Amino acid sequence: ITTRQGLGAFVAKDPMPKIFSVLPDDLESIDEVLRVLELRMGIEVEATGLAAERRSEAALAQMGAKLDALETAVRAGGSGSEEDFGFHRAILAATQNPNFTRLFDTFGSAMIPRQWTRLDRMTEAEREKYLDRMQREHRAILGAIEARDVNAARRAMRSHLTKSYARFEDLRDKAVHD
């Protein structure tokens, strides 16, 4: 039902679109994080292939800058979640299909559930190992996009998100056993 001032109420031909979002409060359990990662795999694996096909030099520069910012943030003691979100969003933007970025933007930084990684509880050596692993995965994605290798780009993103998924499963399993 829609209303128009002075005219009355009418049955709408097309109902208003429903808005879907993932909010940080939606990620209070590891199982919820795992469900979001499943959604991300469905979106980002395909988008990464499209980014490899369609990327521009400017898009490559943007992705590289986001990775550099991520490394700087984590080395400075931050979580890097905003910078990580920026890298993944830059990949979606490189598809040249604004629907990917619009969808990702509805989720915001909740798509990068960094609160569970407990970086603040890691030793300097553990943080360094974590950063190296994460950046190695990210650099593999960027390298495949740069090479315009669609299949390698999809594999690299799937590998990255699958490894993230496995790490969260490990966290869940440890929490159950503690």
- C-alpha dihedral, 153 to 102 to 108 to 39, nearest 10°: -50
Average pLDDT, the chain: 84
Q: Tell me, what DSSP letter sits at residue 120?
A: G
| d(C-alpha 38, C-alpha 35), whole Å | 5
Stretch among 25-39, 46-60, 80-94, 109-123 having the lowest mean pLDDT: 109-123
Predicted confidence at residue 110, as pLDDT, reads: 64
Superfamily of 23-177 according to CATH: GntR ligand-binding domain-like (1.20.120.530)
User: Rounded to the nearest 5 degrees, what angle is found at the Cα of 66, between the Cα atoms of 46 and 51?
Assistant: 25
Give whole-number Cα distances, 47 to 24, 88, 102, 104, 150, in Å. Answer: 23, 10, 13, 11, 10
Predicted confidence at residue 109, as pLDDT, reads: 66
Radius of gyration of the chain (CA): 19
Residue ranges in the chain assigned as alpha helix (H)? 30-54, 57-75, 81-94, 98-107, 124-146, 150-177
Average pLDDT over residues 17-32: 63
Residue with token string 């629907």: 99
In the chain, how long is the greatest CA-to-CA distance? 68
Residue with token string 């496995």: 166
Tell me which amino acid residue 46 is. Answer: E
Taking the domains of the chain in order of start, what are their residue ranges?
Answer: 23-177
Say whether pLDDT at 18 is over 80: no
Taking the alpha carbons of 93, 141, 27, 77 in that order, is the dihedral positive or negative? negative
* Residue with more model confidence, 90 or 103: 90
Say whether pLDDT at 1 is over 90: no
Average pLDDT over residues 38-66: 96
Q: The pTM is what?
A: 0.81
User: Rounded to the nearest 5 degrees, what angle is found at the Cα of 16, between the Cα atoms of 95 and 33?
Assistant: 55
Predicted confidence at residue 26, as pLDDT, reads: 55
Say whether pLDDT at 11 is over 80: no
Residue with token string 């979106």: 43
Average pLDDT over residues 97-122: 74
